[in-house]
Structure 1
Amino acid sequence: MQDSRDYYKILEISREATIEEIKEAYRRLAREYHPDLHPDNPNAAERFKEICQAYEVLSDSVQRTQYDQGFDPIINQRKKQGMSSQDFYVRAVAKALDKDYQGAVEDYTQAIDLNPRFIEAYIKRGAMRYKLGDARGALKDCNEALSINPNLAQAYYYQGRSRYRLGYTQAAIEAYTQAIAQEGDYAQAYYHRGLANNDLNELPLAVEDLQKAAELFRQQGDRTGYQLAQETLKSLSKTQGKLRRTGGNATAVVRNGFGEALRAFKSLALNPVGGILPTFVSLGKQQAIAVGIVFAGIFDLCFVCGAYLGWRDFFEASIPKLIIVGVVPFISLAVISAIARGIFRRKGSFAGDIFLAGASLLPISLLVLASGVSTQLPSSTMPILAVFTSCYLILNLYSGCTQILNLSERAAALLVPIMLLVSTWLSYIAFASLLT
């Protein structure tokens, strides 16, 4: 049965279109219907989803062949008995589009069991395993695919992502370079190679890669990728300028801590999800620690002011004791972050833990400060502030867990509430001790 949706018509191409023509049509239509460009038009989002589905099928030789033969790659749900490796592969792609990554891995595995040389299935399963946080499994799949065909750009790309997540930065750069050698317009490979070069303090190379990534994202109509590359590039450029002026010594890093904190605040306030990684990677370890401590200091100051202004009639506590209590959330979040990295075997540094803890507490500073004068504010002010700042706190924590700690989405979704519960409980114990 032929699919009722004509993917060729959706992409406005002929059935004889080459892969380059398919890519060009996708880029043109993506620029035209990207939801970011039409925030008030719900039809644009639906149209963009159709375009992505059509491209996903027609850009893949196996899916395109199945589609041309009348197989429905999205809604066909044959029973497992009698299904071929291609059937499992196409069903796995449909599950991946629905973000059922574990189900997709299972079907890709079935496809590989039936055809051990199914290159596309290895690559796609590797991508799904990476999304699930299984970097070693993803790396194994990429290596299998490359052992069959050593000219696969996407396999090299996910090999690089997996190596980077496991802490092998130089090896990740080598994999990204191989991906770019196979596909010269691989914007994501340029972007992540830039991040890896920055980790190795190869700032000129990092800037060059990010500039190339930004240009490719722009050409391909990927507005989100373009903005992310531009923000990261801007952060790196500022860091380069400051290092040249100060000589990069530790004293200068400390002296510039407040300036870096202000810049980081602007980035996180405008975009807590997309801004946290570019902000962090633009900082050296000492700068990241300094910024995290500055953020924690702002939270502690707001906490002390709020408690002293509004709560001092309910308990007797000196300002030094309040300062100690205000430090508890920061320390607990940083320690839990470090423990999580150990449990999930993620490479990283305590600088990232400190930066994440400080950045996450920063939005709450406004809430605790306002609580000190809450009786003088309109009754609706505190609930609005509580919702607003709590959302920013959760967004910062979740984004930091997935982007800075390199945890999977599943692990981050589990870890964030645990971090909040444990930190709140320890803070309550510390605060309650003031009343005794």
Structure 2
Amino acid sequence: MQSAISSPLYSVSKLNREIRALLERGFTNIQLTGEISNFIAAASGHWYFSLKDDKAQVKAAMWRGNNRYARFRPDNGAQVLVTARVSVYEPRGEYQLIVEHIEPAGEGLLKQQFEALKMRLAAEGLFSASHKRPMPAQIHRVGIVTSATGAAIKDILTVLKRRAPQLEVVIYPCLVQGVEAPSQIAQKIALANARNEVDVLIVGRGGGSLEDLWSFNEEVVARAIFASQLPIISAVGHEIDTTISDYVADLRAPTPSAAAELVCPDQHQLLTRLNSLTQALVHAWKVHLNQKQAQLTSQIHQLQLLHPERQLQQQQQRLDECLARLQRAAVGVIARHAKQLDNLSFRLHKQAPNLKLIQFQHQHNALSERLERAIGQHLDAHNKRLALLSAQLNSVSPLQVLARGYSITKQDEIVIKNVSEIDQSKPLVTDLVDGQIISHIASISTKS
């Protein structure tokens, strides 16, 4: 009895209040996963729901100030990961979780991350068709970025060996699953571009769960594919699987085997092209032979023209002609010089050459000076007169009148001054500054 009296006396509200304080001090910022049930979005904006697993459940509340930052709206049955503190709803004495952050758990979280990255990369233009590189018309060497021991490489090699055994294959082995897989895939894509030894690159792996294929949803892989100068075919999983790599790649194949078929040349097209090339080669060879035959015929003709015997004959004929001309020229020159010599000898005997030469030189100099002055004066006078006449002529030139916007109308080369001078049956010719206008008269009106 004494013990009961010494124990503190609690009211129900006080007990709930102290339990709430105790729980909130002991369980702050905890994380837990569970399934959403009994979800209610109240008119106030708050969310109320239960979080359960296969053995128990707990009530939870997420206030409006926190849930407005949530990246998704939870539904019943959704697996979630929450960050919360433990509290007590005092009026009913029920403990509950006060959720401060919520996000999808497991595959739901991956899908959320997938959609977020997809939207961001699409906004940056990584999926734009304008950045897609076309597949090369002729493929001789194929690069493959995948696991060296997986099913994908076996399927690709089997298809290539069956459909196009002539194709060369370069394998860039890497992990396709796990923490290190994304960086290895990106490194192998960069390595293939640096080597530049293949015509097209297949990047992919076989099927699996969303977690198994997640390496091909990583941003580092998407940006490596976008930066590649080599055309890339994405071949990840099965036909129903879609990854970020499929959106960024230049071409998407539903399976690795389908990717191998895409790089295999069509046998019918190859045969058609081979026949076309063969015909073109035969035609080109015939044209080449005809050209060479024509060149040979021309060269034989030129060789005949340039034969030494013919050249000697022509040179001998030219030599004979030159000798004859030289003889005639020599005789003429000798005769002229002999005659000049006789004349000079006669004149020399008649006059004293030195005195005459001096006199003639003085006269020549004087006359030259007078002639130069006279010519200069005469040219100056004529130039001035010519300039004056040109100015006068230009001032009265019809072309100057025309240049000011006037025109001259003629009929039969006669300038028309009055309407009465016009013969309506004949055309009029109007001279402008830069051409003529020929008019036919429809009617004539006169000023009243």
Structure 2 length as normaliser, TM-score? 0.18
Which one has the largest radius of gyration? 2
Higher helix share: 1
Output the TM-score relative to the length of structure 1.
0.18
Higher strand share: 2
